[in-house]
Amino acid sequence: MLIEIRPVARLRGEKAIDITPAVSEMIGALCEDSVDLAKVRLVCDWVQYKHNFRDVVDVRQISPGTSADQLEVAVDLRRAKDVDLRAAAREVLGYADRPDLLPRMPLEHWTAGSQSCIWDFNALYWKALGEWERATGQMYESALPGGESDARNQAAVRDLISDMFRIWDDLSERRSLPEELYVVELGVGNGNQAKAWLDEFVVMDRERGTDYYRRLHYLMCDYSQHVLDIARKNVTDHATKTSSVILDATKPTEALGFLRFKVFLVYISNVYDNLPCDDVAQIGGRHYLVETRAYLNQPDAEAIAKSISVEPAEVPNQISRLLRLGPELLAEASPDNFADTDAAVEFWRQCWQAVRLAERYVPIQGLDLYEVAPGVTGEMLRPQLEAGGDIRIHVTNGAVASFTDTIPLLHPFGRLVCHDLFTTDVMQNRTGFRGPGKYDGSVVNWCNGPLLAHIGSRKGFDVRFAPFAHRKGTNIITMTAQVRD
Ligand SMILES: C[S@@+](CC[C@H](N)C(=O)[O-])C[C@H]1O[C@@H](n2cnc3c(N)ncnc32)[C@H](O)[C@@H]1O
């Protein structure tokens, strides 16, 4: 039996938490003889997200249905003391060979993490944000690291704009600055970031007397019409300089192809960590894709069913209708189950709170056969998967797709600047839990920085990471990509 304890900071120092009772209870449950210990890996995480997709104890089959099958037993040390751990472990271990028989209500078939319906929940959150925020009384920004978007930080914005002005001044001197100056923002949220940027731009442009504002086009892009409408209202002072574009951030050239080689700044904050993501792993020298399946625990499914007057078996169907229609239309279509939109939103919130992800490890037959994103094969993951020892990493598929489809838009002197949660060293996957977690109604997943840097470098881009410079103690990292000198 192999025991892996992720060495998070909380395990060390004067205020270290005592993990001995949890580990001892888990070993006690495992030694009750329901599983073959020779095949077990016990993985102990500290899941820092208060709301997440995991039960305190989970079992994951490795190579299910083959002679090489093994079992991963996962425990969340943060919540271990809140439950009868031995009983929780005993329950899931009892189903180790047949997890399909656990008292759970599946919401989908086994699939790669990026294809899970949790991403439909995520998209619904942004599309129907107004209804959600009305119900919770809480704005989405308060769930972000630091309680507000770092893209609003005035000092950070000034630095960004002055760097860009330097480049424009240079090009202008050489009579090479185009008349039209394009800036693209992907994933605009409430538009606070656009407003902060544009307000500062005007001030700095006036101070310098450069008249760049007259030539500026700021394109606010998002896949949610609702979000774009809010953002648009927020930048009414700059109405003649801004346009709103509906697009999927994972394929920006579909809408913005006309801007190829023209954009001086692509500005992104807190979006990459919100795009669909698979996990892959190397265990015992073999490569695996982590397949997931969203489910509700039976008691949660029963409580939710009761609240909308249906049988528990009907809940998955109601959830898929919610994800297709949104709360307002769902309430209109099913007045017997939902008195009004608020009732449908309440149903949505209950489901989101309860939804969990089961996981299993399925062998990848060849890394070249696994697609990270269009035009990017799993071979790009090899250096990380084979960095030494067992490892599990995020593939960050949505962010990779977005990145590779955005850089063709950049002017040769343009830059992509992204504030987000990134790992910057593959070993960080061993030393902490990197998601997915739940932020209010959306998903958060740390992005694989070394992978983006590796892919960027193959395409002639220099990709750098630096801690966000304007707020102490933050996990936010600023990624900058530009054509290599
Ligand atoms: C966490 S908010 C960040 C908003 C803003 N940039 C900030 O820092 O406050 C994520 C934004 O990305 C948008 N978004 C998420 N996935 C997207 C996708 N696939 N295509 C376009 N926009 C997306 C959401 O609608 C939302 O506006």
pLDDT digits (tens, 9 = 90+) for 329-349: 999 999 999 999 999 999 999
Summarised one tens digit per residue, pLDDT across range 300-334 is 999 999 999 999 999 999 999 999 999 999 999 99
- Give the confidence band of 151 by pLDDT, cuts at 50, 70, 90: low
Q: How far apart are CA 212 and CA 221, in angstroms?
A: 22
Q: Rounded to the nearest whole angstrom, what is the distance from the C-alpha of residue 214 to the centroid of ligand 1?
A: 27
What confidence score (pLDDT) does residue 108 get?
A: 97
Q: How far apart are CA 439 and CA 385, in angstroms?
A: 28
Weakest mean pLDDT among 37-51, 291-305, 462-476 = 462-476
What 8-state DSSP symbol labels residue 406?
H
Mean pLDDT in residue range 251-265: 98
Q: Rounded to the nearest whole angstrom, what is the distance from the C-alpha of residue 288 to the centroid of ligand 1?
A: 30
Are residues 212 and 169 in contact, defined by beta-carbon separation less than 8 angstroms? no
Q: Rounded to the nearest whole angstrom, what is the distance from the C-alpha of residue 120 to the centroid of ligand 1?
A: 14
- Give the confidence band of 385 by pLDDT, cuts at 50, 70, 90: very high
Mean pLDDT in residue range 437-460: 96
In the structure, which protein residues have their CB atom closer than 6 angstroms to any atom of ligand 1? 126, 141, 149, 151, 187-189, 193, 222-224, 227, 248-250, 269-271, 274-275
Does residue 152 surpass a pLDDT of 80? no
Place of tokens 């439909």: 120
Mean pLDDT in residue range 414-424: 96
Q: Rounded to the nearest whole angstrom, what is the distance from the C-alpha of residue 296 to the centroid of ligand 1?
A: 27
Burial class (CB in 10 A: 0-12, 13-18, 19+), 483: middle
Mean pLDDT of the chain: 94
Instruction: Provide the 3-class DSSP secondary structure of residue 312.
Output: helix
Q: How far apart are CA 47 and CA 439, in angstroms?
A: 14
245-248-252-254 Cα dihedral, nearest 10 degrees: -90
Residue 217 CB neighbours (<10 A): 16
What confidence score (pLDDT) does residue 150 get?
A: 67
Given ligand 1 and candidates 228, 274, 470, 476, which is best to mutate, with the most ligand atoms within 8 Å of its CB?
Answer: 274
Q: How far apart are CA 445 and CA 422, in angstroms?
A: 9
pLDDT > 90 fraction of the chain, expressed in percent and rounded? 85
Weakest mean pLDDT among 274-288, 439-453, 463-477 = 463-477
What confidence score (pLDDT) does residue 147 get?
A: 66
What confidence score (pLDDT) does residue 145 get?
A: 65
pLDDT > 70 fraction of the chain, expressed in percent and rounded? 98
- Give the confidence band of 473 by pLDDT, cuts at 50, 70, 90: confident
Q: Rounded to the nearest whole angstrom, what is the distance from the C-alpha of residue 189 to the centroid of ligand 1?
A: 6
Nearest CA to ligand 1 atom 2: 189
Counted residue by residue, the chain has a size of 485
- Give the confidence band of 457 by pLDDT, cuts at 50, 70, 90: very high
Q: Rounded to the nearest whole angstrom, what is the distance from the C-alpha of residue 271 to the centroid of ligand 1?
A: 5
DSSP state string for 118-130: HHHHHHHHHHTHH
Mean pLDDT in residue range 410-425: 96
Mean pLDDT in residue range 201-208: 96
Higher-confidence residue: 74 or 146?
Answer: 74
Distances 356 to 108, 238, 299, 352 between C-alpha atoms, Å: 12, 43, 13, 9
Tokens of 207: 């101070």
Residue 367, C-beta contacts closer than 8 angstroms, at least 6 positions apart: 287, 377, 378, 379, 381, 382, 385
What 8-state DSSP symbol labels residue 33?
T
Weakest mean pLDDT among 147-161, 263-277, 287-301, 309-323 = 147-161
Nearest CA to ligand 1 atom 10: 271
Residue 88, C-beta contacts closer than 8 angstroms, at least 6 positions apart: 55, 56, 57
Are residues 125 and 139 in contact, defined by beta-carbon separation less than 8 angstroms? no
CA atoms within 13 A on the CB side of 410: 23
Nearest CA to ligand 1 atom 13: 187
Does residue 144 surpass a pLDDT of 70? no
Buried b / exposed e over 219-258, threshold 16 CB at 10 Å, is: bbbbbbeebbebbbebbeebeebbebbebbbbbbbeebee
* Ligand 1 atom at minimum distance from 185 CA: 6
What confidence score (pLDDT) does residue 139 get?
A: 79
